[in-house]
Amino acid sequence: MEEKTNPVYSRNIIDFVAVANEFCKYAERASEVNGNDLLKILQRILPLLYIKASLLPDLEPFFEDRNEKFVTESDWNKIHDTLKNKFGKADDFLEIYDDKLTEPDIPVACSLAEYMADIYQDVKDFLLLYQTGTNEVMNDAVWECRLNFENIWGQKLVNSMKAIHRFIYSDEGVGLEENEEKRNNEKRNTSEWFISKQQREFRDNEQSLSE
């Protein structure tokens, strides 16, 4: 009976857990997805993540100490570097709003990969705490996640959606997969190889002699 009435098992939290799991899954498996496809996946997941986070209940924490953290600096760097490579030229964008700005009208350079890695860090820590099954720990995980959403990563998520929309519906394309494919095609083009030039010259000489 306690589980049914405890707010940590409410529908809004369960829904957020489901979307958060999807976001973290794609962040962790980004190396397996084409950069353009990854942007389109995020285009669909991020709005859901925002909506579900905004519906998290306003709980009071049980513990005075900070929640345990699981995502290490190495984990963050791995997610960031993989996403940066996948996003390619779509990674950098200008944004007017930034919490570090003293003059809010001046655009600042932002990184989509950095924002996604920051969101991943908070959301993944929440998921791992929530999965402990201890009501008090789960409660404080929800409390901190909502707090961080309101003050930190919610704005980063909104800014990221603007950048993703712009790149998806522009002619700029994304990243390294396309560039890498172009380079590979250029490598496979043997028309300018030395041996090919010799063969072409030989054929031209034969043709001129026959004439």
pLDDT digits (tens, 9 = 90+) for 17-72: 999 999 999 999 999 999 999 999 999 999 999 999 999 999 999 998 889 999 99
CA angle 201, 203, 206 (to 5 degrees): 110
**Residue 66 DSSP one-character state:** P
Secondary element (H or E) of residue 93: strand 92-95
CATH of domain 2-174: 1.20.120.1550
Q: Could you state, in order of their start, the residue ranges of all structural domains in the chain?
A: 2-174
Question: Cβ distance 143 to 59 under 8 Å?
Answer: yes
The answer on pLDDT for 202 being more than 60 is no
Question: What is the C-alpha to C-alpha distance for residues 26 and 23, in angstroms, rounded to an integer?
Answer: 5
Q: pLDDT tens digit string along 170-190? A: 866 665 555 545 544 444 444
Helix-helix angle 35-54:112-130, to 10 degrees = 50
Q: Give the H/E segment covering residue 23.
A: helix 11-28
